[in-house]
């Protein structure tokens, strides 16, 4: 923080606008090309287990109840009751009001508890409200906080405001990990995705995350590729590693494996771990379990063999 | 490390005969003097098939067959010819898996490339020219353009089936008949194409395929009853052909070598530029006449760019062409490998710094690790001569004017690339580059609607697009 706290508006703008541009055709072509990798047999089995360990199993509905959240936590701890060898997910992700319930349900499991905060998903609330939201979530037991940036301020060019907000939320998090949601579907260009990634990292994000899952365009391969390039370059420059979390719209094992290939061939081994890469997802987990069972038994089981939570 | 398990495409999807004759007048027939040569898989040196060598007598027969077929074929309404071409295009799509495997086996290029680049472009080329066949009067070559007659076509080994498509599709669309000679090291996809012609019920003699080495090609281009010669290959052979054809009244188009400059300015989208550099020189093992073999990078970003490029090169997967995850396959022949090695040795001797990522090469077959030379100057042979392999020469420049000067300072002029986020610079630089194709913020992208061809010693005439019709119309 020492170097970044002194960054003023003009410096920050000059820096963000001085980052190399992203060519849309090129980045989409590269992501599509990596999407054709063929991952089979043993490497597929490893990829599936890794992907399960990377899932932030999420429920963010107005209709969430303690019962629903407890069920989800049970699923996260033991995704496949029929197979004790199946690893748990990385974290359970809920609204702040549900954090106490989830904290009790996850106690002692090693599964992290993430809470969205800062007036998720729009971020359109006064800073004091956002900070109170964050503190409450952490006080109730969340060890990871998923905040949203003020896209309005970012698009208006008010980078300092976005920066200061992240710094303040970072402070409110205490020891909890901070994931900064850029809501890339609202940023419009890959250039903006790269700028927002750097802005969040400079302000102290532990993770940068694509989306809330609440807008039309959520995680995509090319957007995640741009963010992976950003964390790679940020570490090379500042010596600090930042994680990446695509969220929303990743539903199948095939999709998840494409993301793992992307990590493997862009930033490499160092990010192939739940400490540095997460999938924000809900329905993905059951497809991973179904494919996992298929690899072990050689045939597909019907969807009723996997729990719906 | 996330290792990908082997993901081999099945080679049993395609049948390869033990031996092949010459495809003349709609039939496969034995050569007059019974000569044959072997074609091998460059990734394993295993013999794939024995293929007939066409001598003068055979070439004579093939040209005669094409001549006999010409009146009826050229008299067909364009719409009828286009039906045959559409049919060929569809059969190629239907049989593209067979063709992709066959091409990878005979050429050494990765299955990913034959499947995703070569075969889709081949089909697209036939579809494209099928569409022109009944619209020739509106192509801008007069109200009633006529075909020339018999075309003698000689193609290279780097894109065997694609180069066949580039030659055969416009020739047939315009009403010419052809005798085509595929390269000695890669005859199999052309012979497969002969079968496609039969399946499409193309009239006998419209397409004839004669296999053999340089002598067969020489007989063909020198044959007195050939009206039009089209050649893609080395500048050296192109010169020889130009001498042979000079004064005969034959029409000639040549698509020859290149030493393309890929220019990266300091305001380029660096990550995508790195991809473009990799595509530019390592696509198809660098066996690409328009390869971006000279990287001109602005000095102020050179170190950063080279770090990124080397990191990216370390992820290239070199090996079994039939593995779906292979990025770089085998060098096409022992002779080509020797040439690449020789020029690379010279590069090191001349003082350029050589670098390759750690990569394990298979023991059998012809392999060359992706290689980059830094500290190259215009005076180095590796900056001037076409290596035709996965070898990149990196030079630096300070200003746009210097970049343009260096880019144009070559006897070739086939292609070039410009990388900058500044649109006005793309236009200004492209305007001054003397090359037939200029890619902006991309490289090695092809489309049947886009004409392709060179300046200077890269040849003359254009293939593809409306322009590509001209070479086959009188």
Same domain flag for B233 and B270? no
CATH number of residue B375's parent domain: 3.40.309.10
Q: Which structure tokens are listed for B114?
A: 């034959």
Contact check, Cβ <8 Å, B269/A20: yes
Look up A209 and say whether it is catalytic: yes
For B367, the domain range is 261-448
Cβ neighbours of A20 in B, within 8 Å: 267-271, 421
CATH number of residue A158's parent domain: 3.20.20.70
Average pLDDT, integer, range A4-22: 80
Does some domain include residue B5?
A: no
Does some domain include residue B330?
A: yes
Does some domain include residue B4?
A: no
For A179, the domain range is 9-298
Does some domain include residue A3?
A: no
In this prediction, residue A1 carries a pLDDT of: 42
User: Which one, of B149, B220, B148, B150, lies nearest residue B181 by Cα?
Assistant: B220
Nearest CA in chain B to A263: B2
Does some domain include residue A1?
A: no
Same domain flag for B265 and B198? no
What's the pLDDT tens digit per position in A123-155? 999 999 999 999 999 999 999 999 999 999 999
Interface test with B, best of A20, A32, A259, A268 (most B CBs within 10 A): A20
Contact check, Cβ <8 Å, A40/B7: yes
Same domain flag for B300 and B371? yes
In this prediction, residue A252 carries a pLDDT of: 98
In this prediction, residue A8 carries a pLDDT of: 57
CATH number of residue B182's parent domain: 3.40.605.10
Same domain flag for B220 and B278? no
Does some domain include residue A182?
A: yes
Does some domain include residue A303?
A: no
Torsion sign over Cα A43, A49, A53, A58: positive
C-alpha distance from A23 to closest chain B C-alpha (Å): 6
For residue A301, name the pLDDT band (cuts at 50, 70, 90). Answer: confident
What's the pLDDT tens digit per position in A160-218? 999 999 999 999 999 999 999 999 999 999 999 999 999 999 999 999 999 999 999 99
Cβ neighbours of B116 in A, within 8 Å: 36
In this prediction, residue A308 carries a pLDDT of: 86
Same domain flag for B408 and B365? yes
User: Which one, of B279, B298, B266, lies nearest residue B442 by Cα?
Assistant: B279
Mean pLDDT split into 10-residue runs, chain B, 474 residues: 92 97 98 96 98 98 98 98 98 98 98 98 98 98 97 98 98 98 98 98 98 98 98 96 97 97 98 98 98 98 98 98 98 98 98 96 98 97 98 98 98 98 98 98 98 96 97 96
Same domain flag for B391 and B432? yes
Does some domain include residue B282?
A: yes
Identify the three-state secondary structure at position B374. Answer: strand
Look up A254 and say whether it is catalytic: no
Look up A80 and say whether it is catalytic: no
Give the number of A-B residue pairs with CB atoms closer than 8 Å. Answer: 71
Does some domain include residue A208?
A: yes
- Alpha-carbon distance of A53 to A85, in angstroms, equals 12
- Alpha-carbon distance of A134 to B423, in angstroms, equals 45
Same domain flag for B182 and B216? yes
Please tell me the total count of domains within chain B: 2
Does some domain include residue A161?
A: yes
B10 inside 8 A of chain A by CB: no
Same domain flag for B423 and B298? yes
Q: H-helix or E-strand containing B227?
A: none
pTM of the model: 0.96
Does some domain include residue A28?
A: yes
Three-state DSSP string of chain A: CCCCCCCCHHHHHHHHHHCCCCCHHHHHHHHHHHCCCCCCHHHHHHHHHHHHHCEEEECCCCCCCHHHHHHHHHHHHCCCCCCCCCCCCCEEEECHHHHHHHHHHHCCCCCEEEEECCCCCCCCCCHHHHHHHHHHHHHCCCCEEEEECCHHHHHCCCHHHHHHHHHHHHHHHCCCEEEEECCHHHCCCHHHHHHHHHHHHHCCCCEEECCCCCCCCCCCHHHHHHHHHHHHHHHHHHCCCCEEECECCCCCHHHHHHHHHHHHHHCCHHHCCCCCECEEECCHHHHHHHHHHHHHHCCCCCHHHCCCC
Nearest CA in chain B to A48: B2
- Alpha-carbon distance of A272 to A274, in angstroms, equals 7
- Alpha-carbon distance of B118 to A69, in angstroms, equals 52
In this prediction, residue A61 carries a pLDDT of: 95
Torsion sign over Cα A120, A125, A130, A132: negative
In this prediction, residue B1 carries a pLDDT of: 66
- Alpha-carbon distance of B421 to B269, in angstroms, equals 6
C-alpha distance from B264 to closest chain A C-alpha (Å): 12
Contact check, Cβ <8 Å, B5/A47: no
Please tell me the total count of domains within chain A: 1
Same domain flag for B210 and B317? no
Does some domain include residue B1?
A: no
- Rounded to the nearest 10 degrees, what angle do helices A190-202 and A221-238 cross at? 40
Same domain flag for B74 and B216? yes
Does some domain include residue A308?
A: no
User: What's the ipTM?
Assistant: 0.95
What's the pLDDT tens digit per position in A105-119? 999 999 999 999 999
Same domain flag for B106 and B251? yes
Catalytic residue of the set A75, A130, A209, A258: A209
């Amino acid at each position: 923080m020492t170097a970044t706290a002194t960054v003023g508006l003009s410096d920050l703008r000059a820096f963000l606008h001085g980052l190399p541009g992203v060519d849309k055709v090129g980045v989409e072509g590269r992501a599509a090309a990596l999407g054709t990798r063929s991952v089979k047999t043993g490497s597929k089995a490893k990829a599936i287990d890794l992907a399960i360990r990377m899932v932030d199993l999420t429920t963010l509905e107005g209709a969430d109840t303690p019962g629903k959240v407890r069920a989800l936590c049970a699923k996260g701890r033991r995704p496949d009751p029929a197979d004790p060898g199946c690893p748990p997910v990385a974290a359970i992700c809920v609204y702040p009001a549900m954090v106490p319930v989830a904290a009790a349900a996850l106690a002692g499991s090693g599964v992290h508890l993430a809470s969205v905060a800062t007036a998720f998903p729009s971020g359109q609330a006064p800073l004091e409200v956002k900070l109170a939201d964050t503190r409450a979530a952490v006080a109730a037991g969340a060890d990871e906080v998923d905040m949203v940036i003020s896209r309005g301020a970012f698009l208006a060019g008010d980078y300092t405001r976005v920066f200061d907000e992240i710094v303040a939320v970072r402070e409110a998090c205490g020891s909890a990990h901070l994931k900064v949601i850029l809501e890339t579907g609202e940023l419009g260009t890959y250039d903006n995705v790269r700028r927002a990634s750097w802005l969040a990292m400079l302000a102290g994000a532990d993770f940068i995350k694509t989306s809330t899952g609440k807008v039309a365009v959520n995680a995509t391969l090319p957007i995640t590729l741009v963010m992976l390039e950003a964390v790679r370059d940020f570490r090379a420059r500042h010596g600090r590693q930042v994680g990446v979390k695509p969220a929303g719209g990743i539903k199948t094992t095939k999709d998840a494996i494409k993301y793992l290939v992307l990590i493997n061939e862009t930033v490499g081994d160092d990010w192939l771990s739940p400490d540095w890469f997460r999938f924000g997802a809900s329905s993905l987990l059951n497809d991973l379990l179904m494919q996992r069972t298929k690899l072990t038994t050689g045939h597909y089981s019907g969807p009723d063999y996997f729990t719906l939570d | 490390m996330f290792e990908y398990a082997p993901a081999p495409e099945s080679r049993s999807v395609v049948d390869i005969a033990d031996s092949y004759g010459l495809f003349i007048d709609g039939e496969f027939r034995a050569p007059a003097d019974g000569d044959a040569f072997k074609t091998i898989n460059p990734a394993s040196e295993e013999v794939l098939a024995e293929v007939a060598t066409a001598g003068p007598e055979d070439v004579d027969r093939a040209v005669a067959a094409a001549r006999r077929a010409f009146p009826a074929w050229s008299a067909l309404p364009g719409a009828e010819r286009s039906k045959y071409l559409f049919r060929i295009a569809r059969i190629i799509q239907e049989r593209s898996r067979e063709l992709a495997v066959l091409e990878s086996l005979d050429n050494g290029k990765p299955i990913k490339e034959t499947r995703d680049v070569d075969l889709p472009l081949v089909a697209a080329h036939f579809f494209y020219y099928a569409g022109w066949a009944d619209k020739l009067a509106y192509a801008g070559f007069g109200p009633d353009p006529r075909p020339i007659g018999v075309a003698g076509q000689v193609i290279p080994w780097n894109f065997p089936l694609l180069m066949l498509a580039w030659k055969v599709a416009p020739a047939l669309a315009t009403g010419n008949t052809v005798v085509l000679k595929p390269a000695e090291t890669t005859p199999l996809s052309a012979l497969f194409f002969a079968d496609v012609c039969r399946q499409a019920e193309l009239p006998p003699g419209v397409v004839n395929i004669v296999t053999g080495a340089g002598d067969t090609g020489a007989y063909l281009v020198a044959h007195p009853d050939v009206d039009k010669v089209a050649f893609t290959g080395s500048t050296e052979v192109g010169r020889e052909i130009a001498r042979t054809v000079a004064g005969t009244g034959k029409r000639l188009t040549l698509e020859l070598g290149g030493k393309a400059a890929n220019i990266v300015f300091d305001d380029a989208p660096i990550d995508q530029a790195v991809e473009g550099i990799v595509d530019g020189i390592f696509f198809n093992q660098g066996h690409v006449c328009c390869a971006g073999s000279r990287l001109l990078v602005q000095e102020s970003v050179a170190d950063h760019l080279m770090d990124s490029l080397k990191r990216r090169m370390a992820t290239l997967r070199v090996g079994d062409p039939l593995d779906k995850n292979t990025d770089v396959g085998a060098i096409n022949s022992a002779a080509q490998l020797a040439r690449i090695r020789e020029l690379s040795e010279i590069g090191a001797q001349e003082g350029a710094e050589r670098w390759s990522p750690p990569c394990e090469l298979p023991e059998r077959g012809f392999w060359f690790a992706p290689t980059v030379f830094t500290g190259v100057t215009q005076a180095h042979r590796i900056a001037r001569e076409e290596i035709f392999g996965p070898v990149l020469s990196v030079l630096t420049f300070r200003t746009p004017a210097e970049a343009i000067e260096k880019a144009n300072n070559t006897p070739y002029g086939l292609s070039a690339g410009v990388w900058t986020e500044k649109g006005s610079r793309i236009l200004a630089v492209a305007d001054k580059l003397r090359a037939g194709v200029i890619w902006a913020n991309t490289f090695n992208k092809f489309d049947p609607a886009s004409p392709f061809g060179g300046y200077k010693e890269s040849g003359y005439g254009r293939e593809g697009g409306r322009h590509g019709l001209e070479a086959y119309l009188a």
